[in-house]
Structure 1
Amino acid sequence: MTDELSKVFAALADPTRRDMVARLAVSDATVGQLAEPYEVSLQAVSKHLKVLEDAGLVTRTREAQTRPVHLEAEVFDLMTKWIERYRRQAEERYQRLDVLLAEMNDGPAVRRREDDKPRRKGKAS
């Protein structure tokens, strides 16, 4: 998993590739269509696509004379699971920090149950 995840993050480290992925999230495109907004050769775009393909982020199919590039969204599930695990850990740390800060400001939090209420002196019930 780590090797696969490393390839994905490395592929997305380049802003041009991230932009291509964002555009492919909207719809499939050919190499020529992907190259349009950039001032680079088709060969350079093909190299970017090769990196994305090696990371499992895109696939190319053949439709008549064209080879559309398709985004493989399932790869993002792998990334999301990895990120979510660390987000949960960070959230737990923040919650512990909130409790510690509250105790520092207000003193230790005392939780009382109903049967722990102070009883009145005097009459027995």
Structure 2
Amino acid sequence: KVFSGHKELLDSGLCDVLVVSTPNMTHYNILMDIINHSKPHHVLVEKPLCTTVSHCKEVVRAARKRPDILVQVGLEYRYMPPVAKLIEIVNGGSLGHVRMVSIREHRFPFLVKVRFYPTN
């Protein structure tokens, strides 16, 4: 089925979970429509949550008022062991008040290519 937009999809009743992978500047309006919809929908939004701090705060406030839904940002790095250790160190306070962390991942060996043919 094809929908003219996210509001029509929300009203259709055909889904319980949504992934927001639209251009960044559209995240706020779409998230607020999802959170404020009468039917609960869980949502995974690609980074960034929103493009302004004030919009992020509004989304978080609105989501907290809806214990029947889960709103999560797709942030896979937080679960990687080195990042989890860094979070533990930062939360421990030994580095003082950390305002920003910049992480660059270098995978070696590089990811194994997917094979679409038999190996025998």
Please tell me whether Structure 1 or Structure 2 has the larger radius of gyration of its CA atoms.
1
Q: Is the TM value for this pair above 0.5? A: no
Structure number with the higher helix fraction is 1
Short-chain TM bin: under 0.3
Structure number with the higher strand fraction is 2
TM-score if structure 2 supplies the norm length?
0.24
TM-score if structure 1 supplies the norm length?
0.23
